[in-house]
Amino acid sequence: MCGLVGYLGSKDALPFLLEGLKRLEYRGYDSAGVALLNEGNFSIIKKKGKIANLEAELPEKNLSHAGIGHNRWATHGEPSDVNAHPHQANSGNIVIAHNGIIENHLEIREDLEAKGIEFKSDTDTEVIVQLLDFYMKENPKVFFTDAVQAILPKLAGTYGILFLHKDYPDTLIGVRNGSPLCFGLSNGEFIISSDVIAFATYMPQVVHLEDKEMVIIEKDNYRISTFKGAIVDKELENIDKQQTTASKGEYDHFMLKEIYEQPRSVLRAIRGRLLNEEGNTKLGGINMDVRDFFDIDHICFVGCGTSYHAGLLGVYLMESMARIPSTAEIAPELKYRNPIVRKKTLYVGISQSGETADTNSTLQEIKNKGGKVIGICNVVGSSMARMTGAGIYVHAGLEISVCSTKAFTSQISAIYLLSILMARSKDMSIHAGRRLVKGLDEIPQKISQILEQKDRIREIAKKYSHFNNFLFMGRGNNYPVALEGALKLKEVAYVFAEGYSSAEMKHGAIALIDPECASIFICPDDNMRTKNVSNIQEVRSRNGRILAIVTEGDTEICDVADDVLEIPATEPELTPFLTIIHLQLFSYFIALELGKDIDQPRNLAKSVTVE
């Protein structure tokens, strides 16, 4: 959410800023802008809309060696040229770009306005630059860095901020408090960004800032300090290129490419972690051994959106396989009801990006209360991975599509591995363990078989593309899949869809059933099938339109549903891996049919770094 990029070095800053912004565009695309320091003055170019709009306005040649850029996902103030970042102080001396929210912006604004400062934008961000400007005017002898340090305690909320001052052409400052910030360096050149992918191709190493740290880059040197000025020593970390480069290749959209990557991404998540003979799994990164499991009597999965849905499936798996009472929590709901943190609960944070503010701040709250926290995360070195210090990397590779697909199947891979591991330390027999491990091993190949049905799924999606209301229904392990399927459709096709337990339908949602409402039943051959068939019949009797996802050869359901999509037979516990693939493709093809902006759906952004 919002992309920040800054450059300081001996080369022309603009190409680096532009390339960085393009790579970060999936994080926010309401507006974009750059500020370049040219012979003692700033040139600022900002445009509403996508980077292409900004690019059309940029000069062909530019000789600036210092600059900052920003992709915006609007929080305060509508998307517009004026509200786009970077923002400049009234004196013209300072420019900043900001990711996050300044919660006390109204207070600061009113205070500055009372002192005669005029504001140009509706953003919370502008208060930072005007406050700094005012402070430097009041304290004419203060150095730029000291002034930045002096105003930070006045800002409440979360932020990653980049600062440039025209009288300090060789200084670029970045500060972090709750919004990610890192920088790369190579031969006296520096690029600082909210995400390593902005500079991964130019720079081999990265330094991640932690909260309440700042970096002061000066010519070919840098120093990191706390907000209070204490110097911090940090290791340079090598950048994992696999995690940071992506192209659409032969696919029209990242979403489709990432759906197609799933046989490989699931394989990467489980590879080396299955113990066929022992009917067990191994997970080195959780820093727990089998004896530690005796002390766990409750698992709490914590996440948002798709990651929350993965956690909800975790509840079904942990309870049915490992017989450990479990819950799944939408992260901020847990945080703000003041969690009762228990010694014997294992808290499992789930996040693709590892940068979701709601999830990270909840995990931090749990840690502060002494809870045991691990993470299931895709991005190596992300804030969540560093905060938890233990967990499971899912190795899905870079996910660019705002609508998450391969992250989900990778996250549930990790959850199946963890569930089997814990189950085997409790009641699960070696035979049951072997059956599941073998089943997991076969999943990548079975996902490929579904992907081969692309044309059929597309044809069905076309038939359903005129519906304005969808109910996605499933039970047991496929209830979380129903929620996830509905989320996919809402996100990319902007069609109203609700995920529902098919068991719960008759308690209310059945009132919606008529020929204009499409019911998508997830009804594989598992222990819920018979009950699901009854629920399908209930919809049929009310003239509802039914698409059912079934296990191949289920002729009974073929007879009652209007349309069916088939998954290959698998172990009953593992069907979510396969049913979700149909739903991802179904949503993709409906969005395609409706002509939506699939990789950058309106109002959304990848990685929500504000609460």
Catalytic pick among 2, 182, 300, 304: 2
Asked if 382 contacts 354 with a C-beta cutoff of 8 angstroms, the reply is yes
Catalytic pick among 48, 490, 596, 606: 606
Side chain identity at 167, as an amino acid letter?
A: D
Which C-beta is closer to ligand F6R: that of 501 or that of 584? Answer: 584
Closest Cα to residue 85, out of 7, 37, 30? 30
Within a 10 A sphere around the Cβ of 406, how many other Cβ atoms?
Answer: 29
CA-CA-CA-CA torsion sign (333, 336, 338, 344): positive
Among this protein's residues, is 304 annotated catalytic? no
137 DSSP 8-state letter: H
**Residue 601 φ then ψ, to 5°:** -60, 150
Asked if 524 contacts 549 with a C-beta cutoff of 8 angstroms, the reply is yes
Asked if 385 contacts 354 with a C-beta cutoff of 8 angstroms, the reply is yes
> Does 610 sit near ligand F6R (CB under 6 A)?
no
Reduced to 3 states, what is the DSSP secondary structure of residue 229?
coil
Q: How far is the CB of 355 from ligand F6R (least distance, A)?
A: 7
Q: How far is the CB of 308 from ligand F6R (least distance, A)?
A: 7
Binding ligand F6R (rule: CB under 6 A), the pick from 71, 404, 502, 570 is: 404
Asked if 499 contacts 529 with a C-beta cutoff of 8 angstroms, the reply is no
Q: How far is the CB of 296 from ligand F6R (least distance, A)?
A: 23
Within a 10 A sphere around the Cβ of 284, how many other Cβ atoms?
Answer: 9
Which C-beta is closer to ligand F6R: that of 488 or that of 545? Answer: 488
Which two structure tokens, joined as six digits, stand for 421? 């591991």
Which C-beta is closer to ligand F6R: that of 172 or that of 398? Answer: 398
CA distance 24 to 131: 28
Residues of this chain, 55-84, that bind ligand F6R according to CB under 6 A: none
CA distance 28 to 609: 11
Which C-beta is closer to ligand F6R: that of 23 or that of 48? Answer: 23
Q: How far is the CB of 407 from ligand F6R (least distance, A)?
A: 6
Alpha carbon 17 to chain centroid, angstroms: 23
Which C-beta is closer to ligand F6R: that of 26 or that of 190? Answer: 26
Among this protein's residues, is 2 annotated catalytic? yes
Binding range to ligand F6R, per CB under 6 A, among 101-109, 189-197, 346-354, 543-551:
346-354
Binding range to ligand F6R, per CB under 6 A, among 291-299, 301-309, 412-420, 429-437:
301-309
Q: How far is the CB of 283 from ligand F6R (least distance, A)?
A: 19
Which two structure tokens, joined as six digits, stand for 386? 């560093």
Strands, E assignment, 308-390: 326-330, 345-351, 372-377
> Does 179 sit near ligand F6R (CB under 6 A)?
no
Which C-beta is closer to ligand F6R: that of 356 or that of 535? Answer: 356
> Does 351 sit near ligand F6R (CB under 6 A)?
yes
Side chain identity at 514, as an amino acid letter?
A: D
Binding ligand F6R (rule: CB under 6 A), the pick from 90, 158, 265, 607 is: 607
Side-chain-side CA neighbours of 388 within 13 Å: the count stands at: 32
Locus of tokens 């170019």: 45
Report DSSP letters for 551-566, one per residue: ETT-HHHHHHSSEEEE
Judged by CB under 6 A, how many residues of this single chain contact ligand F6R?
15
> Does 306 sit near ligand F6R (CB under 6 A)?
yes
Q: How far is the CB of 491 from ligand F6R (least distance, A)?
A: 5
Which C-beta is closer to ligand F6R: that of 351 or that of 532? Answer: 351
CA distance 33 to 103: 23
Binding mask 359-388 for ligand F6R (x = CB under 6 A): x-----------------------------
Binding ligand F6R (rule: CB under 6 A), the pick from 280, 352, 409, 535 is: 352
Asked if 11 contacts 63 with a C-beta cutoff of 8 angstroms, the reply is no
Which C-beta is closer to ligand F6R: that of 189 or that of 329? Answer: 329
210 DSSP 8-state letter: P
Please tell me whether the peptide bond between 524 and the residue prior to it is cis, using omega within 30 degrees of 0. Answer: no
> Does 353 sit near ligand F6R (CB under 6 A)?
yes
Reduced to 3 states, what is the DSSP secondary structure of residue 278?
coil
Asked if 545 contacts 515 with a C-beta cutoff of 8 angstroms, the reply is yes
Asked if 455 contacts 512 with a C-beta cutoff of 8 angstroms, the reply is no
> Does 197 sit near ligand F6R (CB under 6 A)?
no
Asked if 20 contacts 115 with a C-beta cutoff of 8 angstroms, the reply is no
> Does 580 sit near ligand F6R (CB under 6 A)?
no
Binding range to ligand F6R, per CB under 6 A, among 49-57, 349-357, 449-457, 574-582:
349-357
Closest Cα to residue 573, out of 472, 481, 484? 481
Binding range to ligand F6R, per CB under 6 A, among 58-66, 222-230, 350-358, 390-398:
350-358
Residues of this chain, 454-493, that bind ligand F6R according to CB under 6 A: 487, 491
CA-CA-CA-CA torsion sign (483, 331, 192, 125): positive
Binding ligand F6R (rule: CB under 6 A), the pick from 179, 356, 532, 551 is: 356
Q: Which residues contact 511 (CB under 8 A, 6 or more apart)?
A: none
Residues of this chain, 491-510, that bind ligand F6R according to CB under 6 A: 491
Q: How far is the CB of 261 from ligand F6R (least distance, A)?
A: 15
Asked if 236 contacts 205 with a C-beta cutoff of 8 angstroms, the reply is yes
Please give the residue whose beta carbon sits closest to ligand F6R in the complex: 305
Binding ligand F6R (rule: CB under 6 A), the pick from 69, 100, 305, 433 is: 305
Q: How far is the CB of 327 from ligand F6R (least distance, A)?
A: 18
Q: How far is the CB of 421 from ligand F6R (least distance, A)?
A: 22
Binding ligand F6R (rule: CB under 6 A), the pick from 244, 307, 383, 579 is: 307
Q: How far is the CB of 356 from ligand F6R (least distance, A)?
A: 3
Which C-beta is closer to ligand F6R: that of 244 or that of 280? Answer: 244
Catalytic residues: 2, 606
Give the residues lining the site for ligand F6R (CB under 6 A).
Answer: 304-307, 351-353, 356, 359, 403-404, 487, 491, 607-608
